[in-house]
Chains A and B, each alone.
Chain A
């Protein structure tokens, strides 16, 4: 049962432009949401999170938006940099039960 879905397996953007990664979830009991970034041969690295009581969280170039009514989460990266090229995983959880999406591969072209 895929409770967290990332429907775009890949995304390509130009350096300096905005990258928008999307994520949908089905379980209304999730109370926190995270984005992880993964480079080849490394484990996922935490990027940013948001609790269900908020609708936006910003950290530098990264902003996460949460739309609970639509059960939709998005990550905005602006401006995008070539070093942002990686696989991005959306995750959602309740207590210690965390579910991950399948990931979106972001390529930022110079």
Chain B
């Protein structure tokens, strides 16, 4: 399967714990995005990488959130001191650098986080 993969698919954690999610984009896709989706809403942009450089961060990305893409391939999203409001589906997407004809982003299946 050469699509975007995310790990884990589900994570249940207690409030105050740290969690880390991984995203493996489609090979050779330079751009990588993280989104958060809550029930009844569409995906909300969190952050964007072009290769290893984090070029944009949403104001939704509080200082408890950090994302990395150290080698320009896979990316990790870490949430420190989780709160119940962090419970959501975290989606990763990727696109090639020249994908401007359709602006399509290819999404992974998401990681569902539940904070108890």
A, B co-complexed = yes
A interface residues, Cβ below 8 angstroms from B:
4, 6, 9, 32, 34, 36, 41-46, 49, 51, 89, 91, 93, 96-103
B42–A89 touching, CB < 8 Å? yes
Q: Which residue of B lies closest to A31 (CB)?
A: B103
Cα distance A36–B109 in the bound complex, in angstroms = 14
- Nearest CB of B to A57, in Å: 9
Decide: A96 near B55, CB < 8 A? Known: A43-B4, A46-B102. Answer: yes
Q: Which residue of A lies closest to B43 (CB)?
A: A100
Contact with A along B20-57 (1 / 0, CB 8 A): 00000000000101000000111111001000000110
Q: Can you pick out 26 interface pairs between chain A and chain B where the beta carbons lie within 8 Å of each other?
A: A34-B102, A34-B104, A41-B109, A43-B108, A44-B43, A44-B107, A46-B102, A46-B104, A46-B105, A46-B106, A49-B102, A51-B103, A96-B31, A96-B55, A96-B56, A97-B45, A98-B105, A99-B42, A99-B45, A100-B41, A100-B42, A100-B43, A100-B44, A102-B42, A103-B40, A103-B41
Q: Which residue of A lies closest to B42 (CB)?
A: A100
For A97, list chain B residues within 8 Å (CB). Answer: 45, 56
B interface residues, Cβ below 8 angstroms from A:
4, 31, 33, 40-45, 48, 55-56, 91, 93, 102-110
Cα distance A34–B103 in the bound complex, in angstroms = 8
- Nearest CB of B to A5, in Å: 10
A43–B93 touching, CB < 8 Å? yes
15 other contacts beyond A93-B103, A102-B40, with CB at 8 A cut-off? A32-B103, A34-B103, A41-B109, A43-B109, A44-B43, A44-B91, A49-B104, A51-B103, A96-B33, A96-B55, A96-B56, A97-B56, A100-B44, A101-B42, A103-B41
